[in-house]
Structure 1
């Protein structure tokens, strides 16, 4: 006779811990570790926070702005100045070059506008066979909400593209996925986008 055991408690790091954690928190729509609660209904947020505190032992870090400032202070970046380009233009890294991204971005930050048009726009590009080690293309995109940069990514593609056009299509597909995800997040926060979402591709 086969016997199946069900664990009532899980130790963090075990194979089944993540599934049990997800099952426990499904009704609260949360992820583990640090959690940011956002919304436009403050009484509901306070009620939601109280329910979480009843279920789990939480440490409320307060208003997000204060939390973000503490992170910047701990990292020593409170005095960082805005810049149009956080990286030196056209830098190519390889496993033989002992230069890290931290060397390029040290002391630089992003500037967010307090008043800006809520228009979601994306810009994407692909650098064909740019990786010096694998000859794979690099996908890059940046997404703006009005004049503020809210999402960006630069990553090697999973496969080797046979042409620059194929690399560009992969880049556009990744950017569209990110735009769709951001639209859903804004919709959940009751942010109405009155203009069509645009995607610009350099091809």
Structure 2
């Protein structure tokens, strides 16, 4: 079959070119895109720019703490809007304001109103007069079923307390994608399962070269999920409006890098609203230094949450409480004098001390046995867990 000559106005793939464009390769003319197209690299940015501009022009204010969060106050009416790509949550103390906003957005964009919030980004939401419950039961059962563990025996806690995982343990997996996919799905599950945060954080360190012992530990997490797949987080409607945080650290907890682990959890009243279990970026020379780095990270989270409460028009006049079980760390935070043991963490020292002196944060000592953040610090046995 000989060469085919395309008629003028078509490109090499046979697509029709806009008027005025030539298919000649030597032509200096190019197509200028005047409107963003779906699936292009900048499409999501352009979409959010158009959506946020529409909201700002209609009287909304964009949060500085979270750019996907918008609020509008008109008299006694308060409207909150949260957007993730093209999924939107609306909340208000005025049902008429919700209806008007939905109609307005429907004139600007094509919307599908799915009614009261029950499902959002894989999260199952249930609400009653006592509070709001968030879970991922369907998602958890899908992971267990995919790994063929629906008939397995449930585990009481996610990881053995004496288990020390390392990069050199066990035999390498023939297909590491199985492990990577499983740990990636478990990471998303920690949104409503904070009690598996330590185990998943530990397992995520071996994504590059996973071994059989790592996969066995991941399967144990699944067996723990099977014990109560409908478990989630409950936000009580009756609570004291006061932020309380617990910070802890596992000094040199990683056997491969000897880096410490930062752990914290933050409560609004009795409701858990934020938590983290993450390896520190540098090696700490003492347990007090590791604890102080954890305290600085927790202080940053408290500052962000206070700013977010302000966007909700919620006043938090009292100081946020920060509990720590290290007396040495508390003395460093209260003592304005530097010495050779703390000068290399000067920025963290200044930051925490400034917040304490400004009355934003108040540090308190807590006994190690009552340290709630321990569940994010180490693999606990059944009793402490």
Shorter chain as denominator, the TM-score bin is 0.7 to 0.9
Tell me by how many angstroms 1:86 deviates: 6.2
Cα RMSD (Å): 3.4
Which structure is larger by alpha-carbon Rg, 1 or 2?
A: 2
TM-score (normalizing by structure 1): 0.75
Which secondary structure state, in structure 2, belongs to the residue aligned with residue 11 of structure 1?
A: coil
Distance in 2, Cα, partners of 1:87 & 1:42 = 37
Matched, 1:112 2:241: no
Tell me by how many angstroms 1:122 deviates: 1.1
The one-character-per-residue Cα deviations of 1:146-184 (angstroms, maximum 9, x if unpaired) are 111111111122333333233223222222222222222
TM-score (normalizing by structure 2): 0.43
The one-character-per-residue Cα deviations of 1:43-81 (angstroms, maximum 9, x if unpaired) are 3333333322222222223223x331497564478xxxx
Runs (5+) with no aligned partner, structure 2: 1-27, 56-69, 71-82, 120-124, 127-133, 142-192, 207-212, 327-385
Of 18, 29, 38, the match for 1:11: 38
Distance in 2, Cα, partners of 1:133 & 1:47 = 57
Instruction: Confirm or deny: 8 A CA contact 1:40 1:190 kept in the other structure.
Output: no
Change (3 A) 1:182 1:86: closer
Distance in 1, Cα, partners of 2:45 & 2:304 = 23
Matched, 1:163 2:292: no
Which secondary structure state, in structure 1, belongs to the residue aligned with residue 235 of structure 2?
A: coil
Which secondary structure state, in structure 2, belongs to the residue aligned with residue 97 of structure 1?
A: helix
Of 104, 121, 132, the match for 1:51: 104
Tell me by how many angstroms 1:120 deviates: 1.1
Partner of 1:36: 89
Q: Which has the higher contact order (CA 8 A, sep 6+)?
A: 1
Distance in 2, Cα, partners of 1:105 & 1:153 = 19
Matched, 1:97 2:220: no
Say how many residue pairs are matched: 193
